[in-house]
Structure formats: structure tokens, C-alpha cells
Structure 1
Amino acid sequence: MQTRPEPLAYPFEPGTGLELNPLYAELRERPLARVRMSYGDDAWLATRYADVKTVLSDARFSLAEAVGQNQPRTQATAWDQVGLTSLEPPEHTRLRGLLAKEFSARRVERLRVHAHEVADELLDRVVESGPSADLVEQFAIPLPTTLNCELLGVPREHSRIWAWVEANLFGAEPDQSGEGAAEFYSHMAELVELRRRKPGEDLLSSLLRACDRDGLITEDELLALVGDLLVAGFVTVAGQIATSVYHLLTRPEEVSRLRERPELIPRAAEELLRYVQLIDFTAPRYATEDVELGGVLVRAGEPVLAALAAANRDPAVFADADDLVLDRSGAAHLGFGHGAHFCVGAQLARLELQVALETVLRRLPGLRLAVPEDGPRWKTGGIVNGLHGLPVTFDTASGAQPQTTPAALARLSVQRTQTRHTHEA
């Protein structure tokens, strides 16, 4: 059994549109590889679907064991050790339980009509200022940010939150990253105190009751959860919306197909979540004992990275894995993770992506890239990849179609039915 291959420099450079580096396909045919990042210890890299699922769900691979370790990472600052993404049961179970009911499929589905209203308001302004736009700045960022801020009960502060994100998730210098984090959490503390003085029916007020009245979480845990929800709750969705639209616009026949058959949008959104992977790998999990995995022996105390992007293109699981097949059925993708740390906001993220695609395709006829396919600038090398901007142009003659037309409402009804079937499958 091979145990110590020479480490490879990681992460691998993606192609245009965040296309996977061909090396991933080679590694899926070999025993687990060793990789070396800019900071921290060397790690094992799981690239096959089955191996990634094991790393994400087997209790012998622990996030909590990363505390105090020289974690493999792309930035000088180590991974947060307070929020949901860094804890194991029972602490993780306790905190996740406070959020799970707020993000259930049934409760999230009630937000669909309002999400369409927000999306339409944003595109009203796009249409008015058209016939060109940057769909990152004018739509992909403010849509999930608005919905997440409303859910939490905090002000809509797109630019301020995004500035912190730029400093911490997209490869900023260590000093800039540290200053941004301090400023962000100071601001979160101010918002918490404001809501503490004037509670409401929002999620932040609910978390405050769990902290102040019921003693279920600490103040530090509260701040970490708010930070997770504000940042993780919209950053990946904003990137997913923009990158998904980009890939559709490079395939005009698929745009036409979805316009003609909007009932396919929920399934298309799932396929885009599989195909477009903004996060190359998960936070490191440390083996708590010797484990055989992917043809190697991972020794106790060694970190393993799960390559979600590679697992979602595993041909052993997905036929024509490197193709975008919008009506794909079969195995579930791992875009939201797997196991105990499956994304708690997955249902909301699904809804936001579905609403974004439906509204953009309906409201912006003739939508097309305003630059060549290789023209958009891509963010790579940070924790989350994505687009700097998405310049588009469109026809303005019928772009102001209101969301509440009978045809649009019929489409919404079809989407809700399809979404329920997807969840039940």
C-alpha cells in the first residue's frame, strides 16, 4: 500500500470559467495524493466521490482535531475554530439545532414569492439603466445579501459585508485580512447589541433569546453564527448565481431551452451546483486513528482535504461528468457537503439560485455576454473562487415584464411542485 507520495503544489490552477484542472482526473485513478499548500502541514487529498463522502461523514475524520494544528491552508490565518464549520458533535449538534428549523424546506419555500419580488426590484433597476449591466454587482451580490439580512434582522449592508469578504475569502494579505476580520466582528457585535435592545421576530432575535434567556449558546458562539450566516450565507450563493449565468450564456441553446421550459429550472440549478464548484476543497479534517482510505494509510493526526469539485466530476458516479446536463438525474452532488456538516442553509441557497435563474431569463430578453467568453476576470486562489464581474447586454423592449403576470405565477407554481419532488427523491 502506497503511503508517502511526493506532495503536489495545491490548489491546482483552474481553467476559464473555473473549469477543473485535468490533474484532478488523473488523481482519481490513483491512490490518494499528498499536497502542499502555501501555509501549514502537508495533507492527503481525496478526489473520488466515495472517498470524499467518507471523509465528510466518517467520525474518524475530525474538524475539531484541527485546533492547535498547523492546518494546511492558502492564507496565513488559520481556519475559524468557533463557528459551525469547525465543530463536531455534540457542540455542533447543539448549535446547528438552533438554526435547522429556520432553514427547513417548508419554511424556506414560504420565502419564494418574496425572493421573486426582491429579484424583480433589482432587475427593474437593471432594465432602467440598460441595455448593459454587471450582473455580479447589480444582481448576484444584492439578491442573497438582501434576503439573508432580512432573515437575520440586520440592515442591508451589501458593500460593507462584501469588503470584509474580499479581505478574508479571496486571498488578501495577512495584515489586511486580520484588520478586516476585526472590523467585521466589531460591527457584528454592534448589530447584536442593537437587536438585544429592540428584539423582533427575526433569526438574530431568536439566537439572542437562546443566548440571554435560555443559556444555550455563548456570546462568542452567537457572534460566530451571525458571521457564518452573513458571510457563508450569501458569498457562495452570489458566486454561484453569477458563475451559473456565465455558463448558461456560453451555451445559448440551454438558455433558450430553459426559457421555453422553466419547469426544468430546479433540476438545472442542481446540475449547476454540481458542475460549478466555487470551493475546491473543504476545511482539513484530521484522522483520529489510522484509517485506510483510497489505497493509502492515513495515520492518526494527519489532515485530509476533501476535493468537492473533483468528486462532483467523478465519472464513476456521474455519466458524462464533465458535461453540463441540465436535466440530469441520479446521484446527489456534494456541492453542499455531506454528513453532519451538510450545509444548514442548503434549501435557502437552492431557492435563491432557482429564483435568480428564473427571473434573469424572464426579465432580460436577448441576454448575452458583453465580452468574449474568456473576457470575465476570475477570482482564484482564495477560500472561495468566483467572478470579479459579469458584463452583459440585453434587449430592453420587453425587459420590464412584471413578476405577477399569470404566466409568471404559473411558472412559480410549477417550480414549487418540482422543488418538492426534488426534495422527496
Structure 2
Amino acid sequence: MTSGVPEIDLTDPDVVRDPFTAYGRAREQAPLARVSAPGFSVWVLTRYDEARAVLGDPRFEITSGSFTPPPGVPEDCRPYLRTMTEMDAPSHLRLRRLVAPAFTARRAAEFRPRIEPLVEALLDELPDHLDGGAVDLLPHFARPLPIDVICELVGIPEADRPRWREYGAAVAAGTGEGFGAAIPGIVAGARDALALRRAEPADDLLTDLLTAQAEDGDKLSDTEMITMVWNVVLAGQTPINLIANAVHVLLTHPEQRARLREEPVLMPRAVEEFLRWCGPQLLSIPRYAREDVELCGTLIHKGEAVSVSIAGANRDPRVFTDPETLDLGRPAGTAPHLGFAHGPHFCLGAALARVQTEVALTALLRRYPDLAPAAAPHEARRAPDPGTWRLLTLPVTL
């Protein structure tokens, strides 16, 4: 620790293995920490109130520097990769205003009946994937579901959906050659789907975007609509790790699992608790100081990067009662977790991710009441990813 600011080394095996303890320790030392790895260093807010304030503070902006572009992307695809997530006001506000009606909680609830058969179809197939009496839920349930939902949401024709599953798997794997190689197919598929929906409107996102119009007559361009599809594919992978983390937690907390099966009405609150307690995002997207700003007694210079420890803030005892305990019946009305961020860049697809996770977990527990881990909990393999809490495998017996 230097000058009262805790330092967290993201290459430390203990930090990678248990980031919640690492960020929790830093949080109790100070509200601001320094997080670093080779070629990377960022200020991080560790406590809830300070973190929430920064996420809504216009003095800190998301820019194209907040993201690392995937390698090997063809030049003709690059115009579609700068999503509104990378923009700040006023460009971000304009795009968000135009597309927000398609992502409301009401629209997500209306979409639930179209998610349910997608979930049931994947559950029907699980016995076909048994190997030695076990099946890995990650490649056979948690990973394909979000891209199936995205295809249904966007309006991708049935014949093209197997190929989009391959794209989704490549994107979910993170940056790398496969990630970059999937982008031309996604862009071309979005172009084709857009042309189809222009000729044949339907009940899907592209039709909504084609008809979206602000009061001043502003409309999305074709490039912006295709970019929105890319944004949905990229951001829509969150339920993979949320569902996988939740299932793993239920398997390792049998008393909570039994409670959820006995009281299925708790599922919406349970999903919020999973997001708080084992949500996939450990760190927020970095924001850059527009000017010199003092945070928690430390001067942050203009241009310096600041992030939020979601893992630390969501277990802050100053805000959450008994924060280290998983409580699927945690009373409604407590402080909202930061799993979907806060402020202008609050996750646009949060309502859809919630509904998708509720449907997936409810159906899984109903269809396979004897679900059990096929390996000891301590043998769970996780990706050595300092920004995301995600499993590499999730073997179970049915």
C-alpha cells in the first residue's frame, strides 16, 4: 500500500482465485485502490457509495480508449464496432433514446413466452450429451441460450441460427482470433436480416429499430442498426456467466436451492442476489477523467482511468446487511446492486438478462430436481480473467 491507497496485483494467484476477498480487504482499508497488471493500471473505487457516485459522475467518461478492439477485424467491419457503450453524451444519449423502447421491462416480460421454448429445447437435449454419467451445462445450456435468445430477439432466420451459435461461442470466449473471425459473419448476417425485415416486418428488434423515431424525427441509420445488433451480441453474453455462476452456487448451497424450489416466487429476488453475490462482472468498464478530480482525498489527473470494483461494492457492509451471506430472500427495497452498473451507462439489456436468467433457472430446477455437481466444488475451473468471474466448465449429473 502506497500513501494509504491499497494496491491489488491482478496477476496474484490469490486475487484471481478469490477476487471477492481481495477487493473486500482493500475496501476495508480505503475507498480507493490501485489495480494493476502488466501494461495496465487503473484507480478503483472499492465502496458502494463512492462507486455509485463515480458511475453517475459526468466528470468521468467512457471513450473508445475504454475498449480494446479485437485483432484481425476487416476494415469494412470496423464502422460497426463502436457501439453506444463506448460513447458519451450527446451521442450516447441520442442512441439510447432511440433504442430504449425496445428494451423496457415491459418488453422483456412480453418476450418471456418466446424464451421459454428455447430453454425447454436445450433442457430436452441434455441427456443426449451425457458423458460418463455427467453433462457440462456450460456448452450445452448456459452458453447457447443467450445467442438463441438474441437470434429470436433480433429476428435472425431459423436457417442461420446454428451458425450464429458458433459466433456466440467465439464472442463468449473473449478476445482472440476466433472472436475477431466471428465479426464479419455477424455483420453480414445483421445486414441480411435488416434487409429482410425492411421487406417483411415482424415482432422483433430490427423491426422495432426500423420504426423507432424520436419526436424530432431523428432515426437510426443502417450502420447504427447493424451496430446495435453487434452491441446486443456482445453485451448479451452476460447471462452465460450469470446462469453458470448461479447454478454453481445453488449446487454448493443446498439449503438455498431447497428454499428456491419450495418457494419459486422468490426467483426474481434470487436473481438479484446472484447478481450481487456472484455476478460475472468484477470491474466496471474504465472511465477517464475529463479534468483533474479529487476522489477520496486523492487527486485523479485529467485522462487517468478510473474503474469500480463491483465485487467490492456489492458486498459493502456499509450498505448491505450481512453482505458475505447468500440470501435468496434478501428483502426487496434494499440498496440496488451494481451488477448492471449505474447512471447513464446502466445496462440497456438488464431487464432481458433478468427474465432470461429467471426462466433458465426455474426450468432447470423443475426439469432436473436431482441435479448434482459431478465434481467437488473446490475443483471448479474458472477463467484467469481479472475482469470477469466465469467458469470454464460446469459438469453435473441429472
How would you bin the TM-score normalised by the shorter chain?
Answer: 0.7 to 0.9
**Change beyond 3 A, Cα 1:23–1:384:** closer
Change in Cα spacing, 1:72 to 1:265, as seen in structure 2 (3 Å) is: closer
Tell me by how many angstroms 1:225 deviates.
Answer: 0.9
Question: Aligned partners of 2:21, 2:220: CA distance in 1, in Å?
Answer: 45
Query: What secondary structure sits across from 1:22 in the alignment?
Result: helix
Contact 2:30 2:46 in 1 (8 A): no
Q: Residue deviations 1:247-302, cap 9 Å, x none?
A: 10011122211111111111111101111121221221111122221231112221
Question: Is the counterpart of residue 340 in structure 1 residue 344 in structure 2?
Answer: yes
Tell whether the 8 Å contact from 2:56 to 2:344 is kept in structure 1 after alignment.
yes
Partners of 1:393 and 1:166 lie apart in 2 by 23
Check conservation: 2:44, 2:309, Cα contact below 8 A. yes
Indicate the SS of the match to 1:136.
helix
Partners of 2:102 and 2:208 within 8 A in 1: no
1: CA distance, partners of 2:284 / 2:71: 17
Query: What is the aligned counterpart of 1:134 among 133, 136, 154?
Result: 136
Equivalent residue letter for 2:222: E
In the alignment, which residue of structure 2 is the partner of 1:108? 108
Alignment partner of 1:361 out of 342, 362, 365: 365
Give the distance between the partners of 1:334 and 1:161, measured in 2 at CA.
Answer: 30
1:123 aligns with 2:123: yes
Moved more, 116-125 or 219-228: 116-125
- Whether 1:297 and 2:299 are equivalent positions in the alignment is yes
The aligned runs of 1:272-311 (5 Å cut-off) are 272-311=274-313
| SS, match of residue 55 in structure 1 | helix
The TM-score with structure 2 as length reference comes to 0.84
Question: Does the CA-based 8 Å contact 1:37-1:74 persist in structure 2?
Answer: no
In the alignment, the residues of structure 1 paired with residue 239 and residue 303 of structure 2 have an alpha-carbon distance, to the nearest angstrom, of: 33
Decide whether aligned partners of structure 1 residues 102 and 31 sit closer, same or farther in structure 2, where only a CA change above 3 A counts.
closer
Distance 1:242 1:345 in 2: 18
Task: Specify the SS of the correspondent of 2:280.
Answer: coil
Deviation at 1:237, TM superposition (A): 0.6
> Per-residue displacement from partner, 1:377-411 (whole Å, max 9, x unpaired)?
222327544222311112xxxxxxxxxxxxxxxxx
Q: CA deviation at 1:348?
A: 1.2
User: 1:58, CA displacement in angstroms?
Assistant: 0.7
Task: Identify if the C-alpha distance between structure 1 residues 53 and 359 changes in structure 2 by more than 3 Å, giving closer, same or farther.
Answer: same
- The residue that corresponds to 2:231 in the other structure is 228
Q: Tell me which amino acid in the other structure corresponds to 1:44.
A: W
What RMSD in Å do the two structures reach over aligned CA positions?
3.2
Point out the more displaced range, 351-360 or 31-40. Answer: 31-40
Which residues of 2 match residues 257-272 of structure 1 at below 5 A?
Answer: 257-272=259-274
Determine the structure 1 residue equivalent to 2:45.
46
Q: Secondary structure at the match of 1:374?
A: helix
- Output the TM-score relative to the length of structure 1: 0.79
Q: Percent identity?
A: 37
- Taking the aligned partners of 1:114 and 1:31, their CA distance within structure 2 comes to 43
* One-letter amino acid of the structure 1 residue matched with residue 299 of structure 2: L
Superposed CA offset, 1:114-134 (max 9, x none): 333332232223256666432
Whichever residue aligns with residue 223 of structure 1, its letter is I
For 1:238, the aligned partner's letter is I
Is the 8 Å Cα contact of residues 15 and 22 (structure 2) preserved in structure 1? no
Instruction: Evaluate the alpha carbon distance shift between residue 12 and residue 283 of structure 1 in structure 2; reply closer, same or farther with a 3 A threshold.
Output: farther
Query: Residue 377 of structure 2: SS of its match in structure 1?
Result: coil
CA shift, 1:199, in A, is 3.7
Assess if the C-alpha contact under 8 Å between 1:46 and 1:294 holds in 2.
no
Q: Which residue of 1 aligns with 2:156?
A: 154
Q: Give the 3-state SS of the residue equivalent to 2:89 in structure 1.
A: coil
The 5 Å alignment of 1:173-184 reads 173=176, 175=177, 177-184=179-186
- Given residue 133 of structure 1, which amino acid in structure 2 is its aligned partner? V
Q: Distance in 2 between matches of 1:155 and 1:389?
A: 30
Change in Cα spacing, 1:114 to 1:160, as seen in structure 2 (3 Å) is: closer
Residue by residue over 1:301-349, the C-alpha shift from the partner in whole angstroms, topping out at 9 and shown as x without a partner, is: 2110112122111121112212211111211111111011111111111
Tell me by how many angstroms 1:147 deviates. Answer: 2.2
CA distance in 2, matches of 1:210, 1:124: 37
* Amino acid corresponding to residue 216 of structure 1 in structure 2: K
Alignment partners' CA distance in 1, 2:37 and 2:114: 43
Tell me, in whole angstroms, the C-alpha distance in 2 between the residues paired with 1:313 and 1:253. Answer: 21
Q: Distance in 1 between matches of 2:149 and 2:172?
A: 21
Q: Is the 8 A contact 1:151 1:203 kept in 2?
A: yes
The residue matched to 1:118 in structure 2 has which SS?
helix
Deviations 1:232-256 (A, max 9, x none): 12x1112111110111001112221
CA contact (8 A) 2:59 2:290 kept: yes
Specify every segment of 5 or more residues in structure 1 that has no aligned partner in the other structure, as ranges. 395-425
Please give the secondary structure, in 2, of the residue aligned with 1:111.
helix
Structure 1 CA distance, aligned partners of 2:11 and 2:224? Answer: 30
Q: Distance in 2 between matches of 1:347 and 1:95?
A: 18
5 Å matches for 1:350-389?
350-381=354-385, 384-389=388-393
| AA partner of residue 349 (structure 2) | G
Distance 1:389 1:344 in 2: 28
The amino acid that maps onto 1:92 is H
1:113 alignment partner AA: P
Aligned equivalents of 2:224 and 2:38: distance in 1? 29
- The 3-state SS of whatever aligns with 1:387 is coil
Q: 1:110 to 1:232 in 2, by over 3 A?
A: same
Gaps in structure 2 of 5+ consecutive residues: none
| 1:77 Cα deviation from its structure 2 partner | 9.7
